[in-house]
Structure 1
Amino acid sequence: MAEEGQMNYKMLALIVVLVIIITGVASFTFFTYFSVSSDDKNNEKEITSIEDIRPTYNAGDYTVNISNNNQINFVRASIVFELESTEMVKELDKRSAQIRDRIISTLRAQNEEILKEPGANTIKKIVKDKVNEILISGKITNVWFTELVVQ
């Protein structure tokens, strides 16, 4: 009988150890699976945001005297356009003189509040609208100032 009691304790100890091992393996698998799948979702979101970037076009550098303003003498800007498609690059190259003229006229006509606005959102919208007026094959979706100096 003493052997049967020891046998039951050994069997019980073996079952407890197996349950602990199985629980550990199941927990490890569960957490590994869900942590990898959430990383995949984050990577998919990053890839989507990278794919959302459209083609760009460097519209050039501009140094413009400001008309009708006593405090600001000039604006220096470097402008980049975000385009709907790459096919628009040919049209922008053809119309580069017209685009430069529109941008220069637009910058010259602005007042101090618009030019010194944080983020320059108003002037970006104005430049985008003025240039889009002359485009045929598509539209500019965004305007970025890579340099904007107002003095």
Structure 2
Amino acid sequence: MAEDGQMNYKMLALIVVLVIIITGVASFTFFTYFSVSSDEENNENEITSVEDIRPTYNAGDYTVNISNNNQINFVRASIVFELENAELAEELDKRSSQIRDRVISTLRAQNEEILEEPGADTIKGIVQEKINELLISGEITNVWFTELVVQ
């Protein structure tokens, strides 16, 4: 009879451990599934929401000879800036000569690896940094190349 009592405690302990494990696995699966689904829904909303699009400024077209490089002769680029606020477009208009100078000198100073990089993220960051140094009433939040030809 003592063995039957001990067997009941072992069986009860085994059942409790199994219930805890099953509950843990079910909870982990539930939270993982719903947290991934809600993240995907939030990303879709961010992308498709028109209110999230900031003002843009067409910085123009540039054709630049490359210095210090024998293989690449020139770069042709069309650039658009994403602005922090709409008032910044007025300052960019006033500083258009300075902006063209900065973009041209930045493009001329680059090497082949940076210019041919997929996505051109490095050159975008450099152009953004150089232009933001000029600005007083805000900053450029993103740089897009609507055309980038390296030859």
Q: TM-score, normalised by structure 1?
A: 0.69
Q: Matches of 2:60 and 2:77 in 1, distance apart?
A: 8
1:54 aligns with 2:69: no
1:118 CA drift (Å): 0.2
Query: Following the alignment from structure 1 to structure 2, what is the Cα–Cα distance between the partners of residues 118 and 47?
Result: 22
Q: CA deviation at 1:88?
A: 0.4
Offset of residue 87 of structure 1: 0.3
1:141 corresponds to: 141
CA drift of 1:54 comes to 0.2
Measure the CA separation in 1 of the matches of 2:45 and 2:145: 27
Q: Distance in 1 between matches of 2:144 and 2:101?
A: 18
Matches of 1:112 and 1:45 in 2, distance apart?
38
What are the residue-to-residue correspondences of 1:103-118 with 2, within 5 Å? 103-118=103-118
Q: Any unmatched runs of 5+ in structure 2?
A: 1-40
Instruction: Specify the code of the residue in structure 1 equivalent to 2:144.
Output: W
Return the letter of the residue paired with 1:95.
R
The answer for unaligned runs of 5 or more in structure 1 is 1-40
Runs (4+) of structure 1 exceeding 2 A deviation are 44-50
For 2:145 and 2:48, locate their aligned partners in 1 and report how far apart those are by CA, in whole Å. Answer: 24
Counterpart in 1 of 2:99? 99
- Determine the C-alpha separation between the residues in 1 that align with 2:143 and 2:47: 23
For residues 131 and 109 of structure 1, what CA distance do their matches in structure 2 show? 15
Question: 2:120 maps to which residue?
Answer: 120
Task: Please state how far the C-alpha of 1:70 moved relative to its aligned partner.
Answer: 0.6
Instruction: Please give the alpha-carbon distance, in whole angstroms, between the structure 1 residues aligned to 2:46 and 2:97.
Output: 37
- Partner residue in 2 for 1:16: none
Q: CA deviation digits over 1:82-134, x for unaligned, max 9?
A: 00010001100000000000000000000000000000000000000000000
Cα offset for 1:50? 2.3
- 1:67 partner SS: coil
Determine helix, strand or coil for the equivalent of 2:143.
strand
Alignment of 1:19-30 (within 5 A): none
Which secondary structure does the structure 1 equivalent of 2:49 belong to?
Answer: helix
Q: Give the share of equivalent positions with the same residue, in percent.
A: 84
RMSD after superposition: 2.0
Decide which structure has the larger Cα Rg and report it. 1
Please tell me whether the aligned partners of residues 65 and 73 of structure 2 are also in contact (alpha carbons under 8 angstroms).
Answer: yes
Matched residues, number: 111
Q: TM-score, normalised by structure 2?
A: 0.69
1:45 offset after TM fit, Å?
2.2
